[in-house]
Structure 1
Amino acid sequence: MAYDPGAIDATLAATVGDEPALIVELRLAFITGAERTLGLMELAGGNVDEWRGAALRLHGLAASFGAVRLMTLARSAIDGRPGDLSTVAKLRRAIARL
């Protein structure tokens, strides 16, 4: 799956129109929310319910903003091993690329 750096901006522009300041604000809110949710996954450690709950939230957040790569990685985390550091690192990189 290819990384599309404009997907989030296109999704936001389709939603709010030609409002650059609002797009920037919403993008920042999305990234902050994704980082916060990833933090919850890290705090969950090996707790299956907390890990999966946070991964589901991250998946939904990514889906609502059109962040396909992040959504795919979050989907894998839902079914993956709770507390997996490799998964966390992949998610962190995907968020940083946004």
Structure 2
Amino acid sequence: MAYENGALDATLAAAAGDDPALLVELREAFTQSLANQVDLLRRARCDGNWNVAAMRLKGLAASFHAEGLIDLAEEALDSAPGEPVVIRKLEQFLNGFVRPAG
């Protein structure tokens, strides 16, 4: 499943301006934060931990206008802790962002 990262990439590029090093740094920071929240969701076994990680993920997504990720975070909020389908979709999003197609 592919997710459109165009708005996210545009937001990062706008924030970095003409500084390619800053763009790389912002992308790495976003990727690391995304990976951390996906890991927390993967390990969550109670509603509280699951919801906190999903809300953090939604906040991260909203900060960078990542609509696809916002939708996935909302799906996580509507799911039971440890829901494998949600975790798999988030991992696919993360992998697609780290290694974009093309």
Same fold (TM over 0.5): yes
Q: Hey, what's the Cα distance between the residues in 1 that align with 2:3 and 2:92? A: 12
Instruction: Find the counterpart in structure 1 of residue 88 from structure 2.
Output: 89
Unaligned runs of 5+ in 2: 98-102
Q: 2:39 & 2:4 partners in 1: Cα distance?
A: 24
Contact persistence 1:8–1:27 (CA under 8 A) = no
Instruction: Name the SS for the 2:30 alignment partner.
Output: helix
The sequence identity of aligned pairs, in percent, is 46
Shift of 1:73: 0.5
Superposed displacement of residue 85, structure 1:
0.7
Q: How many aligned residue pairs are there?
A: 96
C-alpha distance 25-94 of structure 1, shift in aligned 2 (>3 A): same
TM-fit CA distance, 1:24: 0.9
Query: For the aligned residues, what is the CA RMSD?
Result: 1.5
The equivalences for 1:29-68 within 5 A come to 29-45=29-45, 47-68=46-67
Correspondences of 1:5-20 after superposition (within 5 Å): 5-20=5-20
| Rounded Cα–Cα distance in structure 2 between residues aligned with 1:54 and 1:7 | 23
Comparing 3-12 and 73-82, the one that deviates more: 3-12
- CA shift at 1:8, angstroms? 2.1
Shift of 1:74: 0.7
The answer (yes or no) to whether the contact 1:11–1:65 under 8 Å persists in 2 is yes
1:17-48 per-residue CA deviation (whole Å, 9 max, x = no partner) reads: 11111011111110111011110111113x00
Report SS of the residue matched to 1:81: coil
Q: TM-score, normalised by structure 2?
A: 0.85
Return 5+ residue gaps in structure 1 as ranges: none
